[in-house]
């Protein structure tokens, strides 16, 4: 299994600003993912962050809005840029357990944009 | 491509009654299937998963699910509901290989209410 921590756990930000969310894993993993959960909604995959390569974004998400870094096998950041109230969501990082077929989730970052 | 449909955004049962949460999926490749639970203001917790092998899988807290390929279903059941089961439940699918390996597609979620 993997233990994942995220910082910050929550934040309230003003529109037009940016927030960087950190994700730390207690073991080395190849595949990391970032998801968004809008209020009252399900989870949607934003992007895949693999170490040593550029992040790959899902349809509807772009690098300019959600730049991602993956400097090593235990850490990743997601930046929410030029925020608007529509960006108010819970952002979760996750890692894939490979052969176990499990995906482990961090506790999430609850973002409110005013 | 893959998709997940959870039938019923809200399910209400009495304590001690059977819990049945329905999930149907669509996948162009063999799938891995998951059920997650989310308690209010908390993160996601894995209840159970199907990858290969036995199609009836048992998870935590007395839940189980059966993978039925012919019906493309993965319904979640629990014989006797407990008040602590009240939460939101998400069904998810991931391809078992290929370029989208590890990417989860979630259903819309089902809120389970348990009445005393």
Which pLDDT belongs to residue A99? 65
Which residues are registered as beta bridge partners of B49? Answer: B34
Q: How far apart are CA B11 and CA A39, in angstroms?
A: 19
CB of A56 within 8 Å of any CB in chain B? no
Q: What is the percentage of chain A residues whose pLDDT exceeds 90?
A: 80
Q: How close does chain A come to B106, measured CA to CA in Å?
A: 6
Q: What are phi and psi of B85, to 5 degrees?
A: -80, -10
Mean pLDDT of A98-109: 83
Mean pLDDT of B13-27: 96
**What SS3 state is found at A70?**
strand
Q: How far apart are CA B46 and CA A37, in angstroms?
A: 17
Instruction: Identify all chain A residues contacting B91, using CB atoms and an 8 Å cutoff.
Output: none
Using pLDDT thresholds of 50, 70 and 90, give the confidence band for residue A98: low
B63-to-B16, B27, B102 alpha-carbon distances in Å: 13, 24, 23
**B76 vs B54: which has the higher pLDDT:** B76
Structure token pair of residue B9:
């955004």
- Say which of B43, B94, B103 has its CB closest to residue A106: B43
Closest listed residue to residue A21, CA positions, set A38, A34, A31: A34
Give the number of other Cβ atoms within 10 Å of residue A83's Cβ: 20
Nearest CA in chain B to A33: B103
Q: How far apart are CA A95 and CA B86, in angstroms?
A: 27
Q: How far apart are CA B27 and CA B6, in angstroms?
A: 15
Mean pLDDT of A37-64: 92
Mean pLDDT of A28-48: 93
Structure token pair of residue A29:
């993993």
Which pLDDT belongs to residue B53? 87
Average pLDDT taken over every residue of chain A: 93
Query: pLDDT digit string (tens) for B59-110?
Result: 999 999 999 999 999 999 999 999 999 999 999 999 887 777 788 999 999 9
Query: pLDDT digit string (tens) for A56-89?
Result: 999 999 999 999 999 999 999 999 999 999 999 9
Contacts of B111 (CB under 8 A, 6+ apart): B9, B10, B11, B87, B88, B89
pLDDT above 80 for A37: yes
Which pLDDT belongs to residue A1? 77
Q: How far apart are CA A83 and CA A77, in angstroms?
A: 16
């Amino acid at each position: 299994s993997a233990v994942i921590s995220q910082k910050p756990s929550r934040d309230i930000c003003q529109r037009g600003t940016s927030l960087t969310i950190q994700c730390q894993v207690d073991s080395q993993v190849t595949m990391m993912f970032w998801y968004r959960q809008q209020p009252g909604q399900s989870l949607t995959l934003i992007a895949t962050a693999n170490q040593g390569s550029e992040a790959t974004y899902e349809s509807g998400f772009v690098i300019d809005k959600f730049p991602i870094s993956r400097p090593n096998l235990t850490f990743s950041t997601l930046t929410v840029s030029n925020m608007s109230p529509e960006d108010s969501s819970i952002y979760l990082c996750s890692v894939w357990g490979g052969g176990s077929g499990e995906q482990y989730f961090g506790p999430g970052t609850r973002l409110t944009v005013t | 491509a893959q998709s997940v449909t959870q039938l019923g955004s809200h399910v209400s049962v009495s304590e001690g009654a059977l819990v049945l949460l329905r999930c149907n999926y669509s996948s162009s490749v063999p799938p891995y299937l998951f059920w997650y639970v989310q308690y209010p203001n908390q993160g996601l917790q894995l209840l159970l998963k199907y990858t290969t092998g036995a199609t009836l899988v048992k998870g935590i807290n007395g839940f189980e699910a059966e993978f039925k390929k012919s019906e493309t279903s993965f319904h979640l059941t629990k014989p006797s509901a407990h008040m602590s089961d009240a939460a939101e439940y998400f069904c998810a699918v991931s391809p078992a290989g290929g370029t989208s390996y590890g990417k989860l597609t979630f259903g819309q979620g089902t809120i389970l209410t348990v009445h005393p």
